[in-house]
């Protein structure tokens, strides 16, 4: 219809609607980049033999989540007519107003984020089919119901007694506590990875295979959080929108920065690793950004810093508590998301201006803190109950965990047929000290193994603890006969042909 058929006022309303819709779509697309961050973070945190497995789970979080959210997830979250507990319309988009398509897109990426949190906590030992079940359950049922309670017009948390309303602007509780609680329950029922704890229950470190990939994922998540929190305003054309969006993104980095510094300081002081830990810094910063989600729109800058300081300490305490009770969380997802989410839910009604408790010290503001605590308890109870039933059922049917043999050898090849780092891809044709020349026999030029570079796991890092060929720990003292900086390898080059199959030392060539 021609624009001339509308009055100036109507044209301005159309423009306003279009600007808001465009803003929501662009912010949702930026938030979807967080899935890249999760993928890199998780891939770097697992061992090389499980890289393909963790990556396919991350990409399917988007694809499986999109279909589930279209079929029934969005209906349970925001379908009309609904009730205080759950939505009841818009299944398969039936009767969905076209104006809500942008909101579907926006909330779908939030649902995918909640689901991805779990994949890291149960990494390296989970059956792929069980992943499909919990992905459907979390994206399609568990998370949508929680978001209905807090963010729909009819939800019981959004319409509390006496005019109380649950405060959670960008999902500290709705997204992160929900995902973190499911991660905690899943990791507990699944059990730890083989070798994570010794026979006395003492934890043993299982290192991921590439720290740079973890760091790249952390940078991408940091970027994504600006859209995650700023985009939650879902409007850019009303008076005050610009200030709220700006406040949200500034508070996001301030809280993340404070949490990262606290987590790093605690780690260096001996509360954690006793070192200047990069991984702790990354997770601490993410925990601070999770915590500020709830109140980023309303707290002052100093409030964001306080939130981050508390979140950094909460991350370290939660991480150690989870480990001490024998739960194996390779990504520290529980500490980052459940621990940080709880901090955010409780600090937002305390520090939010102008109606926060620290500004008023009265009954209504105290009631707001209490109502948020009720919301946190409800989110934990709902998510833990359904996640327990889901993971427990999968375990009873024998579908939850891979066999010990597959776990030890790695999931990539038997489950996917696609190793992330196939040895054949490292073959080279040039001779150097790193790429030795092919071995010949009797001078006839017959190759007994092909030239290729040493793979990352074949090096000793001289001066630090490593592993010998039998997989037992060694130290520089125990390797005293080996020269410093000799480039010694855990598996000799003559023992590892290009196909990656280790040969015995006494094997003979024909």
pLDDT digits over 279-309, tens only?
999 999 999 999 999 999 999 999 999 999 9
Q: Give the pLDDT confidence score for residue 273 in this predicted structure.
A: 77
* pLDDT tens digits along 454-471: 555 554 443 334 444 444
Q: Give the pLDDT confidence score for residue 504 in this predicted structure.
A: 37
Q: Are 55 and 36 in contact (CB under 8 A)?
A: no
- Please state, in angstroms and rounded to a whole number, the distance separating the CA atoms of residues 385 and 373: 18
- Please state, in angstroms and rounded to a whole number, the distance separating the CA atoms of residues 148 and 89: 12
Provide CB contacts within 8 A for 343, sequence distance 6+: 172, 287, 291, 307, 310, 311, 314
Buried b (16+ CB within 10 A) or exposed e, 428-466: eeeeeeebeeeeeeeeeeeeebebbebbeeeebeeeeeb
Q: How far is CA 221 from the centre of its chain?
A: 9
Q: What is the DSSP letter of 473?
A: E
Residue where the block lists tokens 């190793």 = 419
Question: Does the structure show a pLDDT above 50 at 258?
Answer: yes
pLDDT mean over 195-200? 92
Q: Give the pLDDT confidence score for residue 493 in this predicted structure.
A: 35
Q: Are 108 and 36 in contact (CB under 8 A)?
A: no
* Range with lowest mean pLDDT among 144-153, 269-278, 444-453: 444-453
Q: Give the pLDDT confidence score for residue 1 in this predicted structure.
A: 52
Position with higher pLDDT, 414 vs 456: 414
- Please state, in angstroms and rounded to a whole number, the distance separating the CA atoms of residues 475 and 473: 7
Residue where the block lists tokens 């037992």 = 472
* Range with lowest mean pLDDT among 223-227, 326-330, 499-503: 499-503
Q: How far is CA 144 from CA 341, 381, 382, 428, in A?
A: 17, 15, 12, 52
425 band by pLDDT with thresholds 50, 70 and 90: confident
433 band by pLDDT with thresholds 50, 70 and 90: low
423 band by pLDDT with thresholds 50, 70 and 90: confident
Beta strands 466-467 and 473-474 are: antiparallel
Position with higher pLDDT, 450 vs 14: 14
pLDDT mean over 230-243? 95
């Amino acid at each position: 219809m021609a624009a001339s058929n509308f009055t100036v006022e109507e044209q301005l309303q159309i423009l306003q609607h279009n600007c808001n819709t465009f803003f929501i779509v662009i912010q949702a697309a930026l938030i979807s980049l967080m899935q890249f961050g999760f993928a890199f973070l998780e891939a770097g945190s697992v061992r090389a033999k499980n890289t393909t497995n963790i990556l396919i789970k991350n990409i399917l979080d988007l694809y499986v989540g999109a279909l589930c959210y279209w079929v029934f997830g969005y209906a349970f979250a925001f379908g009309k007519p609904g009730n205080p507990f759950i939505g009841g319309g818009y299944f398969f988009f039936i009767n969905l107003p076209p104006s809500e398509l942008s909101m579907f897109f926006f909330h779908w990426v939030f649902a995918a984020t909640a689901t991805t949190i779990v994949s890291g906590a149960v990494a390296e030992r989970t059956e792929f089919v069980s992943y499909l079940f919990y992905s459907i359950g979390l994206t399609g049922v568990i998370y949508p119901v929680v978001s209905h309670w807090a963010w729909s017009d009819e939800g019981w948390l959004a319409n509390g007694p006496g005019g109380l309303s649950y405060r959670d602007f960008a999902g500290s509780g709705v997204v992160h506590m929900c995902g973190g609680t499911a991660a905690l329950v899943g990791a507990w029922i699944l059990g730890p990875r083989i070798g994570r704890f010794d026979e006395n229950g003492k934890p043993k470190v299982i290192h991921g295979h590439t720290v740079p990939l973890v760091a790249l994922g952390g940078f991408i998540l940091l970027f994504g959080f600006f859209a995650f929190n700023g985009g939650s305003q879902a409007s850019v054309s009303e008076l005050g929108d610009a200030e709220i969006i700006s406040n949200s993104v500034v508070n996001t980095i301030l809280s993340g920065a404070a949490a990262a510094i606290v987590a790093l300081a605690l780690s260096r002081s001996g509360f954690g690793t006793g070192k200047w830990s990069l991984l702790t810094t990354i997770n601490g910063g993410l925990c601070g950004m999770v915590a500020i989600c709830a109140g980023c729109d309303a707290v002052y800058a100093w409030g964001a810093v306080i939130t981050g300081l508390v979140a950094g300490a909460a991350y370290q305490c939660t991480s150690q508590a989870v480990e001490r009770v024998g739960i194996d969380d390779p990504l520290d997802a529980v500490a980052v998301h459940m621990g940080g989410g709880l901090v955010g839910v409780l600090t937002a009604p305390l520090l939010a201006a102008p109606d926060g408790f620290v500004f008023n010290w009265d009954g209504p503001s105290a009631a707001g803190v209490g109502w948020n605590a009720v919301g946190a308890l409800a989110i934990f109870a709902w998510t833990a109950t359904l996640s327990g039933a889901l993971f427990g059922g999968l375990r009873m049917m024998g579908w939850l965990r891979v066999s010990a043999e597959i776990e030890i050898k790695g999931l990539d090849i038997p489950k996917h047929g696609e190793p992330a780092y196939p040895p054949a891809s490292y073959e080279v044709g040039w001779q150097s000290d790193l790429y030795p020349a092919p071995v010949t026999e009797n001078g006839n030029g017959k190759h007994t193994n092909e030239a290729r570079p040493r793979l990352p796991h074949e090096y000793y890092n001289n001066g630090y603890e490593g592993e010998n060929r039998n997989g037992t720990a060694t130290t520089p003292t125990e390797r005293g006969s080996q020269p410093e900086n000799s480039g010694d390898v855990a598996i000799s080059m003559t023992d590892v042909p290009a196909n990656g199959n280790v040969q015995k030392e006494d094997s003979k060539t024909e």
